Amino acid sequence: MELLNDHHHPLASKLASWLQSSRKYSSFVTQFESKIRKKLRLAQSPEQQDELLLELETAFLLLTERAFGLVYEPLPAGQSRGPDFLVNYTSSSTFYLEVTRLRASGFARDDTLTTERFSTMLANKLGQLQTGSTNVLLVSLEPSTFTQTDLKTALNQFQQRAEQNDPLIVNRYGFQGRKHFFNHFQRLSSVLLRGDDFSKTDIVFLWNNPQAKHPLNPKIKTLLLRSHQKSTA
């Protein structure tokens, strides 16, 4: 399959490796070939290419699990923003997965995930979560100098700020106050945190939202963690 006419494209070698190593991934790329071709063509800057690489790598990792099937960028009717993936576990069990990156440029040496940028990113992503469904947010952090405690601290502080009606949280990104914010926050089932370079086998953490209306199925959690504890090198 020739996705790229330019074999010197920054993503060419990774894509070729994944396509050769996985029939399931090759089938996924074939199914969504026109969409992927367009995204490859439009991703001109290093930042855009990194974002696209994260999406395509996430798809590769998810599809290492036989139980998972993927729909790329499903856009529910009437919405202008949707999640990156609909993941099928069984015919009756699915979840949505949105992926995003936090860059090193936003973090000082002594910063952790308890930064304003983490809260801003999370509040912004809540608008893409689907009502009546399980929603997982995957965050790739650069550099990968974090701990599970950092993740829990950041998410707890984010929730506390919303409960205290912090206007920087509850009055941004289209939220109309505390109640409206928590209607969206309760759609967030889990946050999966990973480093940005799987060739170095970064550690992966998963946080479950205790307020989620649709918690992540424990069996899906096991598969999701296992898929993201594999190196893509």
| pLDDT score of 187 | 95
Tell me what pLDDT residue 106 has: 47
pLDDT of amino acid 99 = 95
Distance CA 64, CA 103 (A): 27
Q: What is the pLDDT of residue 109?
A: 45
Closest CA to 210 of 163, 145, 146: 163
pLDDT, position 171: 78
List CB contacts of 77: < 8 A, sequence separation 6 or more: none
Tens of each residue's pLDDT in the chain, 233 residues: 456 665 577 888 889 899 999 999 999 999 999 999 999 989 889 889 999 999 999 999 999 999 999 999 997 665 667 899 999 998 789 999 999 988 755 454 445 555 677 888 888 899 889 999 999 999 988 765 667 777 788 888 888 888 888 887 887 777 888 888 899 999 999 999 888 775 555 678 899 999 999 999 999 999 999 998 876 66
Q: Could you tell me the residue ranges of all domains in the chain?
A: 1-60, 73-227
What is the reported pLDDT for 88?
96
Q: What is the pTM of this model?
A: 0.89
What is the Cα–Cα distance from 201 to 198, expressed in whole angstroms? 5
At residue 118, the pLDDT reads 81
